[in-house]
Structure 1
Amino acid sequence: MVARRWRLAAGVLSGALALALCAVLVDRFVLNAEWWQVRHTVTTRPVAPQGEIGPPPGPLTVSWERTARIHHGPVAAYDSVAYEVADGQVVTASGRGLEVRDARTGDDRWSYRRAGWTLLGWASTGARLVAYFERDGDRGDRQMVGLDALSGGLLWRRGDAEHPAAAGRATLRWPAAEDVVLTTDERRRELYGRSAATGSRVWRMRLPARCALFDGRARPAAGGEDLAVVALDCPGRSRLIALDPRNGRVRWNHPLGSRGAPEVAMVEGVTLAADGSALRAYDRDGKQFAQWPGDAVCGDGTLCPGALLDGRLVVSYHPRGEPEGASRLEAVEVASGRRAWSRDAPEYAAFAQAGDRIYGLRARLAEGLLPAGVDIIEPTYGGARTAPAPFAVDPEIDGVRPWLAAAGGLLYVAVPEAAPRPDGAARLVALRGGPAGTGPAELGGVPESDWPDACGLLKRPDLAAVRMDDYETRPGRAVVGTVKLPRPVTCAYEAKEPRKRAKARPGDRPRDERTLAGEPRAGEPGAGEPGAGEPGAGEPGAGEPGADSPNGDLAPGSSEPERPKPEPSGTKGSPAPKGSKTAGKPDDAGLGESESSDRTLRISVRWVAPTGSAASGLLDALQSTQSKARRRTDLGGDEVYELGPTAGTIAMRVDRYIIVIDANRTSGTAVSLAKSVATRLHRPPP
Structure 2
Amino acid sequence: MGGRRFGGRRRAAVGVVCGVLVVAVCGALVVRAVTRAEWWQVRHSVTAVPVSPLADVGPPPGPLATSWQQSAPVHRGPLAGYNSVAFEVAYGQAVLASGGGLDVRDARTGAARWSYRRMGWTMLGWAATGTRLVGYFERDGDRGERMMVGFDALSGAELWRQSGETPASVARTTLRWPAGSDTVLTTDRDRRVLYGRSAANGTRLWTQRLPAGCRLFEGAAHASGSVEKTAVLALECGKGPSRLIAVRPDTGAVRWTRSLESAEAPEVTVLDGVTLADDGTALRAYRENGDRLAEWSGENVCDDAVCPAVVAGDRLVVAYRPDGARRGERRLEAVETSSGQAAWHRDAPEYAALAAAGGRIYALRPRLSSALLPAGVDVVDPGDGATQTVAAPFAMDPELDGARPWLAAAGGLLYAGVPTATPRPGGAARLVALRGGSAGPGPAELGGTPAADWPDACALLKRPDLLAARLDPGSARPESDRIGEQRLPHAVSCTYRAPEQEGLPEVPPLTVAPSGGPAEQPSGAPAEPSAPASPKRSGSASPSASASGGKSPGPGGAGGSPTPEPSDSGTGTGDDEWGARSLTVTVKWVAPTGQAASALMESLRAVQSQARRRTDIGGDEAYELGPTAGTIAVRVDRYIVVVTAARPLGAASRLARAVAVGLTGGAGGSPQPSSSS
CA shift for structure 1 position 244: 1.0
SS at match of 1:674: helix
Amino acid at match of 1:594: T
Shift of 1:23: 3.2
* TM-score, L = length of structure 2: 0.88
The residue correspondences of 1:199-598 to structure 2 (distance < 5 A) are 199-234=202-237, 235-299=239-303, 301-469=304-472, 471-497=474-500, 568=545, 570-575=547-552, 589-591=558-560, 594=563, 598=580
Q: 2:329·2:523 contact (CA, 8 Å) conserved in 1?
A: no
Give the C-alpha shift of residue 344 in structure 1.
1.0
1:630-645 aligned within 5 A: 630-645=612-627
Distance 1:495 1:286 in 2: 64
What's the counterpart of residue 133 of structure 2? 129
Q: 2:112 aligns with which of 96, 108, 111?
A: 108
Aligned-pair distance for 1:496?
4.2
Per the TM alignment, residue 200 of structure 1 is displaced from its structure 2 partner at its CA by: 1.5
1:667 to 646, 649, 665: 649
**Deviation of 1:282 (Å):** 0.8
Structure 2 counterpart SS, 1:574: coil
In structure 2, give the amino acid aligned to 1:280. R
Give 1:574 deviation, angstroms: 2.0
Question: Secondary structure at the residue paired with 2:475?
Answer: strand
The aligned residue for residue 678 of structure 1 is 660
How many angstroms apart in 1 are the aligned matches of 2:13 and 2:548? 91
The residue that corresponds to 2:509 in the other structure is none
Structure 1 counterpart of 2:640, from 647, 658, 661 = 658
Cα RMSD, aligned residues only: 2.3
Question: Contact between 1:559 and 1:566, CA under 8 Å: does it hold in 2?
Answer: no
The amino acid that maps onto 2:547 is G
Query: Match for 2:99 among 95, 100, 104?
Result: 95
In structure 1, distance between residues paired with 2:16 and 2:657: 83
| Cα deviation code 1:451-490 (max 9, x no counterpart) | 0001111121110011114652211111111111111111
Query: Secondary structure of the equivalent of 2:476?
Result: strand
| 2:621 counterpart of 1:617 | no
Q: Which deviates further from its counterpart, 2-11 or 226-235?
A: 2-11
Ranges in structure 1 where 5+ consecutive residues have no aligned partner: 501-553, 578-584
Per-residue deviation, residues 155-208 of structure 1 (Å, max 9, x unmatched): 1112x3211111111000100011111111112121111111111111122222
Q: Evaluate the alpha carbon distance shift between residue 138 and residue 112 of structure 1 in structure 2; reply closer, same or farther with a 3 A threshold.
A: same
Deviations 1:395-433 (A, max 9, x none): 110000110001111100010111112211101100000
What is the letter of the counterpart of residue 609 of structure 1?
Answer: A
User: What is the rounded CA distance, in whole Å, between the counterparts of 1:328 and 1:30 in structure 2?
Assistant: 57
SS in structure 2 of the partner of residue 219 of structure 1:
coil
Query: Structure 2: which 5+ runs fail to align?
Result: 504-521, 533-541, 566-578, 667-671
Q: Secondary structure at the match of 1:171?
A: coil
- Give 2:74's aligned residue: 70
1:46 matched to 2:50: yes
Taking a change above 3 Å as real, the CA distance of residues 604 and 556 of structure 1, as seen in their structure-2 partners, is: closer
Which amino acid in the other structure matches residue 549 of structure 2? K
Q: Is the 1:480–1:569 contact (alpha carbons within 8 Å) kept by the matching residues of 2?
A: no
Match of 2:31 in 1: 27
Partner of 1:505: none
CA contact under 8 A between 1:480 and 1:568: conserved in structure 2? Answer: no
Structure-2 change in CA distance of 1:588 and 1:139 (3 Å): farther
Query: What TM-score, normalized by structure 1, do the two folds share?
Result: 0.87
Contact conserved, 2:449 with 2:592, CA < 8 A, in 1?
yes
Is 1:343–1:566's contact at 8 Å kept on the other side of the alignment?
no
Separation in structure 2 between the aligned mates of residue 419 and residue 15 of structure 1, nearest angstrom = 53
Q: CA separation in 1, counterparts of 2:523 and 2:418?
A: 29
Q: Which moved more, 1:86-95 or 1:205-214?
A: 205-214
Q: Is the 8 A contact 2:182 2:199 kept in 1?
A: yes
Residues 1:197 and 2:200 aligned together: yes
Q: Which moved more, 1:603-612 or 1:591-600?
A: 591-600
Return the index of the structure with the highest Cα Rg: 1
TM-aligned CA deviation for residue 494 of structure 1: 2.2
Give the conservation status (yes or no) of the 8 Å contact 2:366–2:557: no
**1:128–1:146 Cα contact (<8 Å) kept:** yes
The aligned residue for residue 143 of structure 1 is 147
Distance 1:672 1:321 in 2: 46
Shift of 1:148: 0.7
- Whether the 8 Å contact between 1:371 and 1:590 is mirrored in structure 2 is no
CA deviation profile, 1:356-402 (whole Å, cap 9, x unmatched): 11100000111201110101111111121111001111111000011
The question of whether the paired residues in 2 share the 8 Å contact of 1:370 and 1:591 is answered with: no
Instruction: Measure, in 1, the Cα distance between the counterparts of 2:15 and 2:385.
Output: 86
Report the secondary structure of 2:67's partner residue: strand
1:26 partner amino acid: V
Give the direction of change, closer, same or farther, for the CA distance of 1:593–1:205 in structure 2 (3 Å limit).
Answer: farther
**Aligned mates of 2:44, 2:435 — CA distance in 1:** 31
Deviation at 1:678, TM superposition (A): 0.7
Distance 1:383 1:591, change over 3 A: farther
Partner of 1:436: helix, strand, or coil?
coil
User: Are the structure 2 counterparts of residues 358 and 470 from structure 1 closer, same or farther at C-alpha, using a change threshold of 3 Å?
Assistant: closer
> In the alignment, which residue of structure 1 is the partner of 2:570?
none
- The answer on whether the counterparts of 1:95 and 1:118 sit within 8 Å (CA) in structure 2 is yes
CA distance in 2, matches of 1:496, 1:10: 96
Offset at residue 588 of structure 1 (A): 6.3
Query: What one-letter code is carried by the residue in structure 1 that aligns with 2:150?
Result: G
Between the aligned partners of 1:442 and 1:462, the Cα distance in structure 2 is 33
Write the distance in 1 (CA, Å) between the matches of 2:548 and 2:86. Answer: 34
Shift of 1:339: 1.1
**Counterparts of 1:655 and 1:147, CA distance in 2:** 47
Tell me, what secondary structure is at the counterpart of 1:131? strand
Deviates more, 1:622-631 or 1:7-16: 7-16
Q: Distance in 2 between matches of 1:6 and 1:462?
A: 96
Instruction: Judge conservation of contact 2:320–2:331 (CA < 8 Å) in 1.
Output: yes
Secondary structure of the equivalent of 1:173?
Answer: coil
Report how many residues are paired. Answer: 623
Which whole-Å CA distance do the structure 2 matches of 1:643 and 1:555 have between them? Answer: 25
- The answer to which of 327-336 and 463-472 deviates more is 463-472
| Matching residue of 1:541 | none
Say if 1:345 and 1:566, in contact at 8 Å, map to a contact too: no
- Counterpart Cα distance in 2 of 1:561 and 1:677: 42
Q: Is the 8 A contact 1:587 1:644 kept in 2?
A: no
